[in-house]
Each structure stands twice: as C-alpha cells, then as structure tokens.
A = this chain, B = another copy of it.
C-alpha cells in the first residue's frame, strides 16, 4: 500500500468490505477525509445542530443518544473503532438533529462532508452502493432492536449485546449499557451478579 494511505488503513479496509477501489480511487477518497480528534465527553453532535459529516471511528468509542422530555438520556448506539456514525436523517435532510453524539473515550475520527460525498458519488459511483448499504445496515440495526424489545427480556438483551460485541461490555460503564438496554443501572448490576453466579 502507498505510504500516504497508511493512516487510512482501517477506513479503507472498512470500505473494501463492500466495494473494491483502485489506487487512484482510494487516494481520491482519502483526500476528502478530514481527521478529527475528540476528547472523552466532547460532543461530536449536539441535539439541534445539523449533522454535516459522516464520521468513521478510527480509534476510541462514541455514543449516540436521545434526550427525552424528562431530560433522561437514552442510548441508541455505541460506535467503537471501525464503525460509522452520524445522524443519517439530519445529514440527508439538513434539518436539526434530535440526537446527540459524544465521546466515551478519547477518539480519533475521519470525517467526510456532504460536498465531499457528492463529489465522490460523481467520480466513483460505486460509493453510492456503499452508502446505501450503510443506510440499510442502520435500518436493520434499528429493526432488530425493536424486535429485541418486543420479544426479549432485559437479561436476553444483555446477553445478546455482550455476545454480539465481545469486549464492549467491560469497556463501557455499566450505566451506559443500562441506558442502551432500557433498564436502570441498579437492575443491570443485579442482573450481572446473577449471571456470574450462574457460571
């Protein structure tokens, strides 16, 4: 690989999962990326702002959450390394976001803005496919979460999460996992104790 592209190793591998790029396409793509660092607790996006970037997490961990009418946070998504994040709807409509995104750990990101995306789509149409797949995956992820709330108990949802994202359940503070699962921190604490006893 071209030495200049080395900093983009992870994101290129991520793209390669769905589309195959030539060297010059890779270079074009990477030239449109903007690196960004985020300290723990910093916002990537605040409710009310417009989401102007699609963001790839090269290192670190972000969370996407919704603030309800009682001021309580509900986590919709965790984004560790090699995940994309943004408010897809705000990004595409240009309307203010109802979601917030912030860093749970110091993170290193790569961002592409809308003009960059449009340029990319014009020059490398197969990226449209890549983006459509991202959109689909987001839809599937949400649909699966709806089903898991309809069909499963908190215990099952927890096991699913910790099975699906191995390692993540020790890396993320309990209270955030509880928020993601839709239970209280106290209850998740008891749940964990019960599960460790079982083994």
Contacts and interface: CB of A to CB of B under 8 A. Distances in A.
A182 B139 contact: no
A132 interface: yes
A149 interface: yes
Q: Which of A72, A88, A140, A142 has the most CB of B within 10 A?
A: A142
Number of copies: 2
A159 interface: no
A138 B139 contact: yes
A68 interface: yes
Q: Interface residue tally of chain A, by bracket?
A: 20 to 34
A68 B151 contact: yes
A151 B74 contact: yes
Contact of A149 (B136, B138, B149): B149
A139 B135 contact: yes
A59 interface: no
Contacts of A170: none
A132 B89 CA distance: 10
17 contacts: A66-B150, A66-B151, A72-B151, A76-B147, A88-B136, A89-B140, A89-B143, A93-B136, A135-B139, A139-B139, A139-B142, A142-B142, A142-B143, A146-B146, A149-B149, A149-B150, A149-B182
A76 B149 CA distance: 11
A122 to B, nearest CB: 14
The 6 closest A-B pairs by CB, nearest first: A142-B142, A74-B150, A149-B149, A150-B182, A68-B151, A145-B146
A92 interface: yes
B147 A74 contact: yes
Interface string A164-197: 0000000000000001001000000000000000
Nearest to A141: B142
